[in-house]
Amino acid sequence: MGVTRAQVAQRAGVSPAVVSYVINNGPRAVAARTRAAVEAAIAELGYRPNALASALRAGSSQSVGLLIPTRTDPFYANLAEAVEQRLSAAGYLVLAGNTYYDRSREERYLRTFLDRRIDALIMSAGISLAASGDPALEELPVVVLDAVPADSLYSSIAALESDDAALAVEHLQRHGHTLIGCIAGPRNVGVEADRIRGWRRQQTAGGAPAGDELIAYAETSETGGESAASALLRRRGRPSIRHGRRPTAFFVTSDIQAVGAIYACSEMGLRVPDDVAVVGFGGTRRAGYTVPPLTTMRQDVEYIADVATRELLKHIKSPGQAPYRSRLRGNLVLGRSCGCDLRPHGASEPGDGRTLEAPPQVTRDHV
């Protein structure tokens, strides 16, 4: 098949070991003349080291596993790309797996990754937190995103989900809304529960209703957001909803569902924000391009990726360090879907208009 190191060595008139020294810049010095000869041979033969062999021997595959729900959700697509760019720049290949919020898929991918001897793992919490009990996991640097794992072996960097949700809801309250529906992703997803909790807390604090009849769970997709919104809007007249009125606003736990919710309103002939106000969660670029632009609680995925990558590389280099844990505060990016009247027709620069808080607030609690 390919050219091997032995062939290069022969051609350069040196031993195979020297070729390694040249390629890896160590661990031992090579005379300038010899190095030149080896490099010439490498170029002439078009030699490329076999990454599999070197990984096997060295015990490091130069790859990192990444587990996320799905890249069909732009939030995770952005997060994954941000992580990949950084790890790729650091010389690592990212092995990615979509879990679809499904525990068995999560475990299957994790196992595949471990079998391939990943050097570290980044996982967006999802469901199971990979409590797979696999001993190989114990020795691996792990960063958990968007959840704080009970197991304090892992590093984590997560949003203050429920606080952020509460802030988003509070913003709607300031616009005068009390009957604020909550559109959320699947029940079994940890972050969803946190965000719902924030909604409930803030509603309760504001003396507004926070009953289950105001919550609709749906798949994290445009379609899910659409059906959840229309379900809540059709509940008008139910005795459980005060005064028999329908919600005048939605707090939506993902931007992608918010896109569907806005669509649903429009299809029912309701205007956003006049008839129904909408606030999303995530802060993806897409949120800036709904009509009207979506107000959303932004999570800074670039920053998250920065920190996650830096920590991971640090732990790979020197294992056994104390795990790093931090929680970030999001910032509300104002569009017009909430009722704010910024940038009237004809203005520019959507999506990153005014923000309520400086990005991103960091709270640390080192463990």
Positions in the binding site for DNA (CB under 7 A): 1-2, 4-6, 13-18, 20-21, 23-24, 27-31, 33-35, 49-50, 53-54, 56-58
Report the 10 Å Cβ neighbour count for 360. Answer: 16
Residue 23 binds which entry of a second copy, DNA, none, CB below 5-8 Å type-dependent: DNA
Residue 55 or 96: the one with the smaller Cβ distance to DNA is 55
Q: Which residues 331-350 are close enough to bind a second copy by CB under 8 A? A: 345-347, 350
**Concatenated DSSP letters of 173-184:** HHTT---EEEEE
Residue from 90, 114, 316, 356 binding a second copy (CB under 8 A): 114
Residue from 20, 78, 202, 248 binding a second copy (CB under 8 A): 78
CB 270 within 8 A of CB 276: yes
CB 203 within 8 A of CB 216: no
59 binds a second copy (CB under 8 A): yes
d(CA 123, CA 80): 10
Residue 15 binds which entry of a second copy, DNA, none, CB below 5-8 Å type-dependent: DNA
CB of 7 to DNA, least distance (A): 8
Residue from 28, 33, 48, 317 binding a second copy (CB under 8 A): 48
3-class secondary-structure state, position 277: strand
CB of 53 to DNA, least distance (A): 3
**Rounded to 5°, angle at Cα 172 from 171 and 176:** 115
Q: Which amino acid belongs to residue 201?
A: R
Residue 14 binds which entry of DNA, a second copy, none, CB below 5-8 Å type-dependent: DNA
231 binds a second copy (CB under 8 A): no
Residue 70 binds which entry of a second copy, DNA, none, CB below 5-8 Å type-dependent: a second copy
Structure tokens at 274: 């006049």
CB of 108 to a second copy, least distance (A): 8
CB of 21 to DNA, least distance (A): 6
Q: Which residues 136-175 are close enough to bind a second copy by CB under 8 A? A: 136, 139
Residue 20 binds which entry of a second copy, DNA, none, CB below 5-8 Å type-dependent: DNA
326 binds a second copy (CB under 8 A): no
Widest distance between CA atoms in the chain? 90
293 binds a second copy (CB under 8 A): yes
- List Cβ<8 Å contacts ≥24 apart for 192-198: 192/217, 192/253, 194/161, 194/162, 194/165, 195/161, 195/162, 195/164, 195/165, 195/253, 195/281, 196/165, 196/253, 197/162, 197/165, 198/161, 198/162, 198/163, 198/164, 198/165, 198/166, 198/167, 198/168, 198/169
Q: Which amino acid belongs to residue 333?
A: V
Structure tokens at 292: 């009207």
45 binds a second copy (CB under 8 A): no
Write out the E strands in 56-128. Answer: 63-68, 93-98, 120-124
Exposure string over 60-72, b if 16+ CB within 10 A, otherwise e: ebbbbbbbbbbee
Binding residues (CB under 8 A) for a second copy: these are 1-2, 46, 48-53, 55-56, 59, 61, 70-72, 74, 77-78, 80-81, 84, 88, 93-98, 111-112, 114-117, 134-136, 139, 221-223, 226, 259-260, 262-263, 266-269, 285-286, 288-293, 345-347, 350
